[in-house]
Amino acid sequence: SGPSTGSSIVGSLLRNNYIYVESISNGWAKFYRGYCSSTYLIKMGGSVNYRTNADLNFRTGPSTSYGRITTLSTGTSVVYYGRDPWNNGWGVTNYGYCSMDYLVPRGTTTRRVTTTTRRVTSTIRPPTSSSIILNTKEYKQYNYEYVYVGGCNPACTIHRYGCLITSITMVLNQVENRNYTPVDVAKKMSFSYGVGDALSYGSNRLKGTWHSSLQEAMTTILNSLKNGRIAIYGSVSPTYGSHFIAVYGYTGNFKSPLNASDFLIYDPGYSNKFKLSDHTYTHPNNPQTIIYV
């Protein structure tokens, strides 16, 4: 609550969380939740990667109750870092906090067609246009300490081993117009510990397929996106093991060979990845897709 270790604790940040710092004084950074030691913060740079799709206010905190820093006009490019740790509907940028409803990846040029059911917004672009964007609420697995299966050491929490559960949550929310959390989805599953158990949700509506190449996997993903459904991609890193992400968009020219940098992703892990190519760079082996059928 104040700039010293003697002040009361009002919250905690996890490694790789993003915040917008208003000021730094005597080794303490001030942001909308309070103060934290600047020793454990890294100042981020980066290239512009998102743009506004309306005139948009940027604020000192993640809601309209916070002060306005600036207003950017439609089409202005910004550096987007990630979602706010406490308010998932707001993003952290180089200009401050803004609603993610009005921020889209650069290169997205088609008109938005938006339908809202049960508080979840799906944005669908026709496959004949220059892009397909299927937005849904992004979730991070590290926000959920729920233990979904016993007998693990360390415990099988969504935080630790929940990338697939979290990716499935985003797919279900987009395809079925739900408002699930990863905990809601985990409670609907019966686990003996394995990926196959996660796929048993929804009377086998989720179909998993191993692919002989990334190109084959991307073709499957693109077909799912054309059908208006977010897809899940999983692969293996020699260092970090397997990891799953949700693929929600495509900005390429629809010609072969497909390019992984044209696919947009929600990564449920700690990383700040935006494109499928970011994921395949660290996890290049054993491509797998999981499609809602």
Task: Give the tens place of pLDDT for each residue, 15-68.
Answer: 778 899 999 999 999 999 999 999 999 988 888 888 998 999 999 999 999 999
**Is-contact 197 189, C-beta < 8 A?**
yes
Q: Which pLDDT belongs to residue 145?
A: 85
Q: What pTM was estimated for this model as a whole?
A: 0.60
Among 98-102, 113-117, 200-204, the range of highest mean pLDDT: 98-102
Full 3-state SS string of 273-287: CCEHHHHHHHCCEEE
Q: Which pLDDT belongs to residue 206?
A: 85
In whole angstroms, give the CA distance from residue 181 to residue 166.
Answer: 8
Q: How many CA atoms lie within 13 A of 187 on its CB side?
A: 7
Residues 281-291: what's their mean pLDDT?
94
Please report the domains of the chain, with CATH numbers, ordered by start residue.
Answer: 1-102 (no CATH), 141-292 (3.90.70)
Q: Which pLDDT belongs to residue 198?
A: 52
Is 123's pLDDT higher than 90?
no
**Is-contact 52 102, C-beta < 8 A?**
yes
Is 172's pLDDT higher than 60?
yes
Is 8's pLDDT higher than 80?
yes
| pLDDT interval class at 130 (50, 70, 90) | low
3-state secondary structure of 113: coil
Low-confidence winner among 4-8, 9-13, 21-25, 178-182 (lowest mean pLDDT): 9-13
Is 128's pLDDT higher than 60?
no
| pLDDT interval class at 151 (50, 70, 90) | low
Q: Which pLDDT belongs to residue 204?
A: 61
**Is-contact 214 186, C-beta < 8 A?**
no
In whole angstroms, give the CA distance from residue 51 to residue 105.
Answer: 6
| pLDDT interval class at 121 (50, 70, 90) | very low
3-state secondary structure of 216: helix
Nearest Cα neighbor of 73 from 49, 44, 95, 45 is 95
Q: Which residues contact 156 (CB under 8 A, 6 or more apart)?
A: 147, 148, 149, 150, 191, 193
Q: Which pLDDT belongs to residue 136?
A: 87
Is 207's pLDDT higher than 90?
no
Is pLDDT larger for residue 119 or for residue 245?
245
3-state secondary structure of 88: coil
Per residue in 250-278, pLDDT (tens digit) is: 999 999 999 999 999 999 987 778 899 99
Q: Which pLDDT belongs to residue 276?
A: 95
Is 108's pLDDT higher than 80?
no
Residues 93-121: what's their mean pLDDT?
65
Provide the token pair at 127.
């496959």
Residues 82-99: what's their mean pLDDT?
89
Q: Which residues contact 40 (CB under 8 A, 6 or more apart)?
A: none
What's the Rg (C-alpha) of the chain? 19
| pLDDT interval class at 111 (50, 70, 90) | very low
